[in-house]
Amino acid sequence: MTNPADYRPAPGSIPTDPGVYRFRDPHGRVVYVGKANNLRARLSSYFQSLSGLHPRTQQMVTTAASVEWTVVRNEVEALILEHTWIKQYDPRFNVRFKDDKSYPYLAVTLNEKYPRMQVMRGDRKQGVRYFGPYARAWAIRDTVDTLLTALPVRTCAPGVFRKAERQGRPCLLGYIDKCSAPCVGRISEEDHRALAERVCAVLGGDAKGMIRDLTQAMTDASEREDFEAAARARDRLRALRDVMDRNSIVLSPGTDADIFSLLDDEMEAAAHVFHVRDGRITGERGWVVDKPEPVGPSGLVAQLIQEAYAGADREEVPPEILVPEIPDGADAVRTWLRGVRGAAVAIKVPARGKKAELAQTGHQNARQVLEQHRLRRASDLTTRAAALQELQESIGMDQAPLRIECYDISHTGGTNQVGSMVVFEDGLPRKAEYRQFSIADGTDDTAAMREVLTRRFRRYLEESALPPEERDSARFAYPPQLVLVDGGLPQVNVAREALDDLGIHDVTVVGLAKRLEEVWVPGEEFPVIMPRGSEALFLLQRLRDEAHRFAITRHRSRRGKAMKASALDEVAGVGPTRAAALIRHFGSLAKVREASVEQIALVPGIGARTAATIHAAVRGGNGMLEP
């Protein structure tokens, strides 16, 4: 715990301009980011008597060890910079928005040569159009299946597409007219992209033009007595209307708006949004919000809007946003949204009518989101806190280990060795900080563990000496309170020696042996035996298993590549470069075996004579595939 008076800036040194500020802990990690129209007034409020501060603010200023600030020109720049830094540093004392579930989206990959429709979750990718989110993945698949009758755009994975290209035959969807089969040239690249654009238009609520064209086509075909063409147009029209009818009409046609609802509490909150396009609900989304700092509803609304539209395409920002309260810095928020959308955006509080009714429905959904989150979290928080407290007491630490790193080594007979490092903070995995280490073949397990720990903590010593602005992007700048290694006393002792050799004595080291799940402490003759139902033991097992999974995944990848390359390296005239080219062209060694001499000769860098040699070698020299 630090004393805020020890790092309080000198009186008068803080500017009165607008800006963004960062509090850092003793290791240089950013623990809080904030913005202010007047930096001096805002920062001075943190350095008053601790008794006058909110308890969570007290915890923040006593965790921090320094404060710094950046002056900007106006409130809009402060808004943008604050959000950028919160995403970059993920400070533990800032409000954190988390999806209450992993919502699926219907995505159209316009960034590919031949765009395709697919279900997507997780982070958004540039050049991909997203529609939804949907409450259930099956709802997307039903929509896609129906939509393909009217707009047969590609839906297959890249591997399936490439296979169809090589074989010159489309997949089943191509034969039943639910794919236009660009893989075999049934449709040109330009026409297929136009088809994908029409899919985007329909999913965005603009299907009037296509419905009109299909209706006219059906009428014209009927007049010509071309009843097959009329039936096809009828089926496409029916499918298109089915897709549109799945989205209920809640507002007048032509209305584009996002309707946010918020349920606020002292420690946490929940938010919900309905996405309405052309009067229809096209998607919804919910968030749960941790509040490690005291924030009122208007402040939460401002941060919620930033969370919802940061990184959004201009088409995703509607002309009207309805909120339960006007956000803090509303003018700056409107200016920022105008820059994203390229046109004015209205922010309003609905008072009456259908919009207010829909907002009330959203409020009820937010209540459900918060209640479900609390049911899940009540047991989770209690369990994690109990596990960390029990772990502290069992191995004699001065404080609960908030950051734990676990290390494992994976190899096959001493070859393709890989070391893994996984990180848990507050009992939860922090996957962005996982790391892998390549190790020279032939090194035994204890030597490999020493090498991995030495490399990791040597980097820590180097990066912890960097200036704060360089340390922010460093990969190993922050130490754990506890290091867990997979193994018994030999692995634990070598891990302790590796840290001692580097002069690092304030990091606790233990090992978890698989046979009896014993916890070994360096220098102790006997292990610590934790009860089988212990939450602390379960936490250590999760860490160990995650480190093993992370290591073996990388090891198998290296081993697979090595096996593929070595099988071809034995062929006369084929070195690593040609072997890699063959695997890259055909996709696998089995495909190379199936290829003809002429097909092998098409690989860049391989002539007819070498192709014949490869063909004979991989087929055993007698025209038969090797078993």
For residue 85, is it within any domain? yes
Q: Are residues 475 and 410 in the same domain?
A: yes
Q: Are residues 517 and 609 in the same domain?
A: no
Q: Are residues 353 and 231 in the same domain?
A: no
Q: What is the 3-state secondary structure (H, E, C) of 128-165?
A: CEEECCCCCHHHHHHHHHHHHHHCCCECCCHHHHHHHH
- Structure tokens of 34? 């904030």
Q: Supply the CATH number for residue 583's domain.
A: 1.10.150.20
- Which of the four pLDDT bands, split at 50, 70 and 90, describes residue 627? very low
Is 510's pLDDT higher than 80?
Answer: yes
Q: Are residues 417 and 546 in the same domain?
A: yes
Is the distance from CB of 25 to CB of 63 less than 8 angstroms? yes
Percent of the chain surpassing pLDDT 70: 85
Q: Supply the CATH number for residue 13's domain.
A: 3.40.1440.10
- Which of the four pLDDT bands, split at 50, 70 and 90, describes residue 266? low
Is the distance from CB of 116 to CB of 95 less than 8 angstroms? no
- Looking at 558, 592, 608, the residue that finishes a domain is 558
Specify the DSSP element, H or E, that contains 57. Answer: helix 55-63
Is 586's pLDDT higher than 50?
Answer: yes
For residue 394, is it within any domain? no
**Count of C-beta atoms within a 10 Å radius of residue 604:** 8
**Count of C-beta atoms within a 10 Å radius of residue 471:** 18
Q: What is the 3-state secondary structure (H, E, C) of 84-137?
A: HHHHHHCCCCCCEEEECCCCCEEEECCCCCCCEEEEECCCCCCCCEEECCCCCH
Q: What is the 3-state secondary structure (H, E, C) of 408-459?
A: EEEEECCEEEEEEEEEEECCEECHHHCEEEECCCCCCHHHHHHHHHHHHHHH
Q: Are residues 145 and 118 in the same domain?
A: yes
Percent of the chain surpassing pLDDT 90: 16
Q: Are residues 407 and 554 in the same domain?
A: yes
For residue 391, is it within any domain? no
Q: Distance between CA atoms of 263 and 288, rounded to whole angstroms?
A: 10
For residue 251, is it within any domain? no
Q: Which residues constitute the domain of residue 109?
A: 105-245
User: Measuring CA to CA, which residue among 511, 524, 462, 515 is closest to residue 484?
Assistant: 511
Is 170's pLDDT higher than 70?
Answer: yes
For residue 438, is it within any domain? yes
Q: Are residues 11 and 137 in the same domain?
A: no
- Looking at 94, 116, 131, the residue that finishes a domain is 94
Q: Are residues 226 and 280 in the same domain?
A: no
Q: Are residues 324 and 409 in the same domain?
A: no
Q: Are residues 609 and 504 in the same domain?
A: no
- Looking at 245, 274, 308, the residue that finishes a domain is 245
Q: In sequence order, what are the beta bridge partners of 404?
A: 424, 482
Q: Are residues 545 and 579 in the same domain?
A: no
Q: Which residue has the tokens 């501060």?
A: 53
pTM reported for the whole predicted model:
0.55
Is 599's pLDDT higher than 80?
Answer: yes
Q: Give the angle subtended at the CA of 499 by the CAs of 498 and 505, to the nearest 5°.
A: 150
For residue 120, is it within any domain? yes
Q: Are residues 407 and 552 in the same domain?
A: yes
CA torsion angle 602 607 609 611 (round to 10): -40
**Count of C-beta atoms within a 10 Å radius of residue 232:** 17
Is 298's pLDDT higher than 80?
Answer: yes
Q: Give the angle subtended at the CA of 608 by the CAs of 606 and 612, to the nearest 5°.
A: 100
For residue 88, is it within any domain? yes
Q: Give the angle subtended at the CA of 570 by the CAs of 565 and 574, to the nearest 5°.
A: 75
Q: How far is CA 279 from CA 204, 253, 341, 359, 364, in A?
A: 11, 5, 19, 14, 21
Phi, psi of 348 (to 5 degrees): -135, 160
For residue 83, is it within any domain? yes
Q: Mean pLDDT throughout 80-98?
A: 81
Q: Supply the CATH number for residue 547's domain.
A: 3.30.420.340
Specify the DSSP element, H or E, that contains 544. Answer: helix 535-569
pLDDT at residue 319, as a whole number: 93
- Which of the four pLDDT bands, split at 50, 70 and 90, describes residue 187? very high
Report the domain count for the chain.
5
